[in-house]
Amino acid sequence: MPSTPSPLTALTPILQEVIARSLAFKDSEDVFARRATPHALRDLLLEDLPEQPATVQAIWEDISKRLLPYCVNMNSPRFMGFGDTGADPASLVAGIFAVLVQQNLINQSFCSPSGTMAEIAVIRWLRDLIGYPTMPACEVESVWEAGGITTYGGTGSNTTAMMLAREHTVPGTLTDGVRDPERFGLVVPRGVGHYSVKSAAAWTGCGTHLIEVDTDHFRYDLTALARAVKENAGRLMAVVAYAGDSRTQTIDHLRAVHDTVRTVDPSVWLHADACWGLMAALTPRRRHLLDGIEAFDSVTVDPHKVLNVPYATSALLVRDPASLRMVSSYSDLIMQEDYAFGQVTPQLGTKEWTSLRAWAALRSQGRQGLTRMMDDRLDRTAAFAMLVDAHPQLMRLHEPDLCAVAFCYLPPGTHPGTATDTQVVRLNEVNRAIHRRLMDEGRWHLHQFTLPDDHGHIRRGAVLAPLRFMSINPRITTTHMRDVLDYVTRLGQEASR
Ligand SMILES: *Cc1c(COP(=O)(O)O)cnc(C)c1O
């Protein structure tokens, strides 16, 4: 071992190799190069901290032997469960740069001089896409005028949204603590929500006082919503609507939800979870589906889910930028300056410059590139939906608003629309068996979850265990779509025997 560290520039050749191998990994069609059980991987990797130092070369060899072969490649066109490709070229370049230069977004002046401004630019671009106003750049004098924060994920963004709702409902809870948890009821659509919203309420000390409202076609039943808001008057902190739920990506009727809630309760906090819905903002073909979102008090968006940027970048946008003052922190240790994001990012101190990945992706695509990207996705969604519809043994469960298509394999003897309990149980067994085989074999990836049959394709109200395709990855071709459906059908036939 050398006694004095070599200059970091000496790492250039090995970094070139790391980059080349990693890019080749992403370019591969394979979802997995090798599969092993969790126990086998545990036995391979849980070891004592070595006594002896090792060279950088040895570490890289170890990574390529023991870690890389088991990594999942979400950029594979056969990985169709999610769209987390992390393969936008500009964001890969920017992401590597940001890791190397190590800025800390907690503060501006000495931690992240240019990084903070680039982060504010991203927040403003996202606001603009969603339809929130931005103030002239020359008037942005502090983080209180940025209009949002970036976090490490939709979960973090939703958590800050619930803190805002809590403070808005009972001002001073931040200092006094929660005194009457019953005061913090949370209205959500039944059966289609994301767990993070409920967890966020719990994490912020509000308990889980969920008021689940019935849905119709995966959107709020507005009559039931009005009733729930009225019946719980004085006990509500927020109403949450999904602009793209995490199952079928259905976008709620946001304007109608807003108007329905506001008519009954003019002040309850309205939060839109647009982790997926941001995609609708990218193209005129879907932009209208977001009408009304600009009237919500806060909006979560997840660039790492929808812009092909590497993990982890999410943002919470707030209609009134100053509302972030409700949850701000103050410290004379580090953040005593106007542009210190640490003041407005609850639960986060040191913060990596992940927003640069979104900055680079948005900047390199431009509005035209984003529209083209999204229109291609919509075309792939439509093509997949047509293939499912043309197949007598497959049933599509919704009209796709965005990139998700949830569908199920119909075991022989299923009566779609009027399936009996026994048939529903059988259908779910077979679709779960299909998914288990998919996971075990690791050649293809589709997602699975439970879903209320809100359109009544199998039987209205039945809880189904469908498969889900997502069209985000531009590498997915019609051939991939045909092949995965052939494969699913074959597994379905085998599982139905
Ligand atoms: C994925 C998702 C989240 C959570 O986002 P993470 O980035 O995984 O933390 C929240 N809401 C919805 C609707 C989601 O789909």
pLDDT tens readout for residues 136-191: 999 999 999 999 999 999 999 999 999 999 999 999 999 999 999 999 999 999 98
- 361-388 as b/e, with b when 16 or more CB fall inside 10 Å? bbbebeeeebbebbeebbebbebbbebb
> H helices within 194-326, ranges in order?
195-203, 222-231, 254-264, 303-306
Under a CB-based contact definition with an 8 Å cutoff, are residues 168 and 297 in contact? yes
Mean pLDDT of the 107-126 span: 96
Choose the residue to mutate in 150, 152, 155, 271 for probing ligand 1, maximizing ligand atoms within 8 Å of C-beta: 155
Distance, in Å, from the CA atom of 124 to the CA atom of 142, rounded to the nearest integer, reads: 13
pLDDT by residue (tens digit) across 267-326?
A: 999 999 999 999 999 999 999 999 999 999 999 999 999 999 999 999 999 999 999 999
Closest ligand 1 atom to Cα of 156: 9
Q: Which atom of ligand 1 is nearest to the CA of 193?
A: 13
Question: Token digits for 83?
Answer: 């769209």
pLDDT at 454 over 60: yes
Give the binding-site residues of ligand 1, using a 6 Å CB cut-off.
153-155, 158, 194, 196, 242, 245-246, 273, 275-276, 302, 314
Q: What are residue 317's DSSP bridge partners?
A: 148, 299
The pLDDT assigned to 336 comes to 78
Map tokens 């996202």 to a residue. Answer: 126
How many whole angstroms separate alpha carbon 333 and alpha carbon 321? 25
Hey, whose CA ends up nearest to atom 4 of ligand 1?
A: 154
Query: Could you tell me the distance, in angstroms and rounded to a whole number, from the CA of residue 57 to the centre of ligand 1?
Result: 37
Whether 2 has a pLDDT exceeding 60, the answer reads no
**Predicted TM-score of the model (pTM):** 0.96
SS3 annotation, 53-120:
CCCHHHHHHHHHHHHHHHCCCCCCCCECCCCCCCCCHHHHHHHHHHHHHCCCCCCCCCCCHHHHHHHH
For residue 155, give the ligand 1 atom closest to its CA.
9
